[in-house]
Structure formats: structure tokens, C-alpha cells
Amino acid sequence: MVWDWLPEYAPRFVEGFWITIQLLAMSVCFGMLLAVPIGLVQVTGPRPLAWLARGFCTSIRGTPLLIQLWLIYYGLGSVFPSFPEIRQSFLWPYLREAFPYAVFAFTMSVAAYSGEVMRGAFQGVPKGELEAARAVGMGSFKMLYRIWLPRALQNVFPTLAGEIVLTLKATPLAATITVYDVFGVGTIVRQETYRVYEPLLLVAAIYIFLTIIIVLFMRYLENRIPTPAR
């Protein structure tokens, strides 16, 4: 084991660490926001919307994330430049970077997997509670955000926490489209120093550390959620 390269590359690992965190935080936030309507329309939505949501979940969950990532980055990335409208728009400087494509791909993935979880969660809320909400005169929207959503989230919180860890473990895939997250920096070190195991072990340790942080934080949040008396 030779670790003399570490001081030289430490700042890059810190940068990579933040990129991983940003990638994870953005895709989890956007993905979970999308997951709520995706789950909801499958339970109460109009038929075509429900089918659309189910088709989205099936196709995202049925294909490897790596293929989705490459499809979005190389596929869309090779089509965009042929549209002058896109090249001249304010979005173009961002669309030339790999990072937004990675965020988009991971967001879709989180939305599909968590959307499936939310579907079950919405279904799992006892009907009586929703009827009670109606009986005290709540409108559909008020019922959703005061009763249905909180009760659904309460039931699946641990599952959603697991989804966050799974997303963290998927983020290294972004390195294959030139996003220099922790894993990407590890790859640079491997190429420049010809050391194989040390950078990989460091990268693995960083991911284990992040996993532990997420698990502990989620357990803390979980304990703060009041559980219904059974």
C-alpha cells in the first residue's frame, strides 16, 4: 500500500465529494417531488395519466441506469446541437456540461423507483381516514396535503431512505459521462499514478462513510416522525 499520492490529490477528492453530494441531493429532491404525482395518478388519476405513469415506471425500472445515462448524454447530447434554437438559447452553456444530464438521468430514476413506492403508500392509507377528511368538509387538495400524503409518507419513510442510499450507490455511474465525482477522481488517480487498489479503497471508504451518515440521519428523522398508536 502506497499512499504518498494522497496529499497531492486530496483537494480534488474534496471537489469530487461535493459533486457527489450535489448530484445526490439534486436528484433525490427533484425525483421525490416527481414521485408524489407519479404515485398519486396511478391510484386516483384519470386512466390515460395512470397508464402513462405506469409505463414510465416500468420502462425506467426495466432498463439499466447506465444505458439511460448514455442515452441521455450521448443520444440527446448529439441531437441538441443540430437545433440552432437550442444552441442560441440561454440553456446552451449548461447543456454542454455533463453534470445536468447526470442530474436529469438520476432524477428520472429516483422518480420511477420512488413513484412505485408512493403508489403503494397512497393505496395503503386506510379508506376510513380519507372518508373522515371528506366528512369534516376538506376539499380534495386539503385532504391530500393534510391527511393522505403525510399518512402515506409515514408508512414508507424507511423505504424512501433506502432509495436514497441506492441512489448514492448509483452516482459513480456519472463518471462514465465525464462528471468528476468521487469515483471519477479515483479513476484519474488510477490513471496518473498507476496504483490500482489504494484509490479504489479510498473511494469505497468514502462511499461507506456517506452511507453511514445517510442511514444515521434518516434514522434520526424517522424517530422524530410520530407513529400512530396501534
Partner 1 sequence: MHDILLASFTLADSLPFSLQGWGDNLLAGLGKTVTIALGAFALGLLIGLLGALGKLYGPSPLVWFLEFYTTIIRAVPELVLILLLYYAGTDLLNRTLESFGYRPLDISGISAGIAVLGIVMGAYATEVMRAAIKAVPPGQMEAGKAYGMSAFQILRRVTLPAMLPFAIPGLANLWLIVTKDTALLAVVGFEELASVTRQAAGTTRNYLFFFCVAAVMYLCLTLVSNMIIRRLEAYYRRGQKPLEHS
Where on the chain is the footprint of partner 1 (CB under 8 A)?
58-59, 61-68, 70-71, 74-79, 82-85, 120, 123-124, 168-173, 175-176, 183, 186, 196-197, 200-201, 203-204, 207-208, 211-212
Comparison of 75 and 150: residue with beta carbon closer to partner 1: 75
Please give the torsion angle defined by the CA atoms of residues 59, 155, 166 and 37, in that order, rounded to the nearest 10 degrees: 40
Grid cell for residue 65: 441506469
Comparison of 83 and 94: residue with beta carbon closer to partner 1: 83
Assign 64 to helix, strand or coil. coil
Backbone angles phi, psi at 125, to 5 degrees: -75, 125
Q: Which amino acid is at 214?
A: I
The distance of closest approach from Cβ of residue 196 to partner 1 in the complex, given in angstroms and rounded to an integer, is 5
Comparison of 84 and 228: residue with beta carbon closer to partner 1: 84
The distance of closest approach from Cβ of residue 139 to partner 1 in the complex, given in angstroms and rounded to an integer, is 26
Q: What is the CA radius of gyration of the chain?
A: 21
Comparison of 134 and 169: residue with beta carbon closer to partner 1: 169
Residue 18 CB coordination number (10 Å): 12
The distance of closest approach from Cβ of residue 80 to partner 1 in the complex, given in angstroms and rounded to an integer, is 10
